[in-house]
Amino acid sequence: MISRRIIRTKVLQVLYAYYSSEEKSLNKTEKELFFCIHKAYDLYHYLFALVIEIADYAEGRIEIKKNKHQPTYEDLHPNTKFITNQVIEQLRQNKQLNTYIGQKKLSWKENPELIKELYLLMTESEAYEGYMNDPVRSYLDDRKFIERLFNKVILVSEDLYVVLEEMSIYWNDDVDFVISMITKTLKRFNEHSGADQGLMPMFKDQEDKDFTKDLLRLTIINQDELRELIKVHSKNWDVERIAFMDILIMQLAITEFLYFPTIPTKVSLNEYIELSKFYSTDKSRNFINGILDKTLKDLKTTEKINKAGRGLIGE
C-alpha cells in the first residue's frame, strides 16, 4: 500500500505543479494527485510481472541450448533452480496480479532488450551465483533470492529507468518505494500461499485515502493563513527569497499541525524534516526545522493545536 510518507511526497509534488501553473483548479489538481498514486500502484504490479518475464527469458535460453546441433552435457542438464523458483510460480498463478495486469494491459513484450539486460545483470551477480550453486533448496531461499533480485538488480538498472521514463513521466521517481512495497508483500508469502494470496491494496484504508485528499485541499484553501505563520516566524528572513519548495514543505507541515487532530505533531515534524532531505539543501533543512519548531511552540502556546485520540490529549 502507499505509505503516508509517499502520500506526503506526492502531495508536495502536485502542490508544486499547482502553484507553478497558470490554471489554478483544485478539482483538477486533486484528480492529478490520485492519478499519480494510481500510476505508482500500476508500477507495483508491473514490476512483479517483470520478474516473471525474466524467468520466461531464462527458460527460453535453456530450451535454445538444449536444441543446439551439438549440445553439451551442461546444455542438456541445466540448473533450473531459478526458472522453477517457487515464488515466481506463485506470482504466475496469483489471481489479483493476473487480473490487474490484464485489465491495465501491462506488458513487457515490447522491451526484449531490457529483459535480456536484466537477465545478464542477474546472472553476473553474486546473489545469483550463490543461490544457483547452493544445493540446499527451500522456500525461504527462493523468496530471499527474489527479494535480492528486486533490490540488487532491478532497482539499480539504469536501462530500466530509461524504459520507464519513456512509458510514464511518473515512474522514475517511484521505483525505489514501489520495490519497498514489493519486498513487504513478498514477506507475506509462504510456501502455502495459493492463487488467492492477496497483494497490497493501494491505500491502507479509507482514512489514508481521505488523508490524501484533505492534506492537499486544506493546504491550498488555507494558504494565506499558513504563509502568514511562516512569515511571522521567519523574522530576519525575506520570505520572498525563501526557496519555494521550502515554503511548500512548511505549509504542509503546519496544515497537519492545525487540521489533523489524530496525527501527533512530532510525527508531522519528523516526516517533513525527512522530506526536506530530498527536496531541499542542508541549509534549507536546518532552516525549515527552525521555523517549524518556532511555529509549533507558538501554536501550542496560543492553544490553536487540538489533538484528540489515545495519547494525544494535551500534546
pLDDT at 293 (0 to 100):
93
Range(s) within the chain of domains with CATH label 1.10.940.10: 222-301
pLDDT at 242 (0 to 100):
75
pLDDT at 116 (0 to 100):
98
C-alpha cell at 98: 493476473
How many C-beta neighbours within 10 Å does residue 244 have?
A: 11
pLDDT at 307 (0 to 100):
81
pTM of the entire predicted model: 0.90
Identify the sign of the CA torsion 271, 274, 280, 282.
Answer: positive
- Among 174, 180, 150, CA closest to 87: 150
Q: What share of the chain is helix, strand, coil (3-state, %, to 5)?
A: 70, 0, 30
Q: Say which amino acid occupies 20.
A: S
pLDDT tens series, the chain, 315 aa: 899 999 999 999 999 999 998 888 999 999 999 999 999 999 999 999 999 999 999 999 999 999 988 989 888 999 999 999 999 999 999 999 999 999 999 999 999 999 999 999 999 999 999 999 999 899 999 999 999 999 999 999 999 999 999 999 889 889 999 999 999 999 999 999 999 999 999 999 999 999 999 999 999 999 999 999 998 888 766 555 678 899 999 999 999 999 999 999 999 999 999 999 888 877 788 889 999 999 999 999 988 898 876 545 556
Q: Is 237 helix (H, G, I), strand (E, B) or coil?
A: coil
Q: Which residue has the cell 521505483?
A: 175
- Among 208, 200, 146, 170, CA closest to 7: 208
Task: State the Cα–Cα distance between residues 87 and 258, nearest whole angstrom.
Answer: 46
- Among 184, 201, 98, CA closest to 147: 184
- For residues 1 and 204, the answer to whether their CB atoms sit within 8 Å is yes
C-alpha cell at 251: 505549509
pLDDT at 69 (0 to 100):
87
The class that CATH gives domain 222-301 is mainly alpha
pLDDT at 68 (0 to 100):
87
pLDDT at 312 (0 to 100):
58
Task: State the Cα–Cα distance between residues 196 and 108, nearest whole angstrom.
Answer: 24
